[in-house]
Amino acid sequence: MLRESYNPDVLTCLANLSNDEVFTPPAFANRMLDELPVELWSNPDARFLDPFSKTGVFLREITKRLNKGLEEKIPDVEERLNHILSKQLYGIALTELTALLSRRTLYCSKFANGKYSICSSFDDEAGNILYENRAHVWRDGKCSYCGASQSEYDRGEGLENYAYLLIHEDHPEELFDVKFDVIIGNPPYQLSDGGHGASATPIYHKFVEQAKRLNPSYLAMVIPARWYSGGKGLDGFRADMLSDRRLRKLVDYPKLYDAFPGVKIRGGICYFLWDKNHSGKCTVQTMWDGKPLGEPMERYLDQYDVLVRRNEAVSILEKVKAFRDGGRPEGTFDTIVSRSKPFGFRTNFHGAASSKGLEDPIKLYGSQRVSWVERTEIPQNTDWIDDWKVLMSAVQGTSAAVETKFLSNPKIAGPGEICTETYVVAGRFEAREGAEFCASYLRTRFARFLVSLRKAAQHASRDVYAFVPLVPLDRHWTDGQLYERYGLTETEIEFVEYMVAPMENA
């Protein structure tokens, strides 16, 4: 018996070059294209741009749709493809390699005017897919356009320097003498900034901002979801996105590896549709295991200073914010949490191995070890040393696909004990009992659920506590007491306990 043949789509088989430049699976590209108005596919005058083309998948899938949609208007298939490829589709490649790959995908030849190209309208090898090895513009060790580190990216001629064309251009509208109806794609996510370990600076927001300058009718991009809570150069971008009434739809993938199997993007990813003529609420949809989770919700995104990514959480947060204790609004827990580096010591600092020989030894909790320092050597907040303190890990993440704890187990430090930047101080008290009450509150699912609404990745700095109400820390709070205090329904309680795993009182 003849075995049935199987010819996989080659673009589903390519390994990603890095977690910074992620290849988009064809099925995912088509989900994004499905968000666009269907009438575009039968419009011979519509113009499309992928300004960060890697495999050419978006341009290829657009070609398929236009080829079918224009059958009646341009019956001859050769004439139709020539029109689509030369008059409607444009791309900017990220590297020389992806330029060749994109042209091979779109024109069936790495040379647009080559012997095997399916488009006979081009006179040059590039066709409508540009690539230019631009130079960074260095100023004080950083590129003034993209923020790349000079020590990392100031490379010799002939080496790829990742000075991406779109965001290194003062007049992007001059790259093509074309007015685009649709800009769509998957930009690079970050560049190494020369910091410790794998430290990197996000750059995807620069592509979004530059694409908006081109003033398309529609803009659709897939980007990391960390912008929801800002940080590391993203605060202004977050504020602009949340207040932009032209955002028509946001599709969120919070589960690790869900959108891009094998690619670890902490905090998940999202894609959005920006519509120049839309002015109103944005439809938010959560995806889980590739399928819609719950009903989409239309809402204004700037109700809070960060994006509340789960629709089911909105009603809970509204109840917490509306609560009045004695007629007055409650404070928020972030007001008693320290900034990073509470006593002035970096994460990689370690003191003496023992207290022997020190005149006034202070115990120092650091990264995976305990050491000792002289009281007189502590740079800041010396008036906190003799308080009872609750320490919380400043980085709390997981390598699992789904985070369920959101905070570390609180650590109580007594008088004469301090910490490095590994921890933040989440409260100071005169007696141990107050610290224990505070620690028990932070162990509750309720408090950690509210933390989760602001925690986009593994960092748990002071800001993630800003939705947590500052309840009276005069008792051991239980989840049941907190659910009753804020009037949560059974459905809301089930959602909290589905999202947040219990924490043992270790």
- Return the percentage of the chain with pLDDT > 70, whole number: 93
The mean pLDDT of the chain is 91
In 3-state terms the chain splits into helix, strand, coil percentages (rounded to 5) of: 30, 20, 50
User: What count of other Cβ atoms lies within 10 Å of the Cβ of residue 411?
Assistant: 18
Q: Could you please report the per-residue DSSP string of 234-286?
A: -HHHHHHHHH-TTEEEEEEE-STTSSSTT---TT-EEEEEEETT--S-EEEEE
pLDDT on residue 229: 86
CA-to-CA dists, residue 328 to 72, 80, 305, 450, angstroms: 67, 68, 22, 20
CA distance 265 to 499: 20
pLDDT digits (tens, 9 = 90+) for 121-175: 999 999 999 999 889 999 999 999 998 999 888 887 767 788 999 999 999 999 9
In which region does residue 189 sit, left (phi positive, over 0), alpha (psi from -120 to 50) or beta (all else)? Answer: alpha
**Whole-angstrom distance, CA of residue 58 vs CA of residue 30:** 8
Mean pLDDT of 425-438: 97
In this prediction, residue 6 carries a pLDDT of 44
Lowest mean pLDDT among 3-12, 15-24, 107-116, 250-259: 3-12
Q: What is the pLDDT of residues 210-263, one digit of tens each?
A: 999 999 999 999 999 999 988 778 999 999 999 999 999 999 999 888 888 888
Span 440-452, average pLDDT: 96
* pLDDT per residue as tens digits for the range 173-204: 999 989 999 999 999 999 876 554 456 789 99
* pLDDT in the model for residue 326: 80
- Between β-strands 282-288 and 291-299, what pairing exists: parallel, antiparallel or unpaired? antiparallel
Q: Determine the pLDDT at residue 456.
A: 78
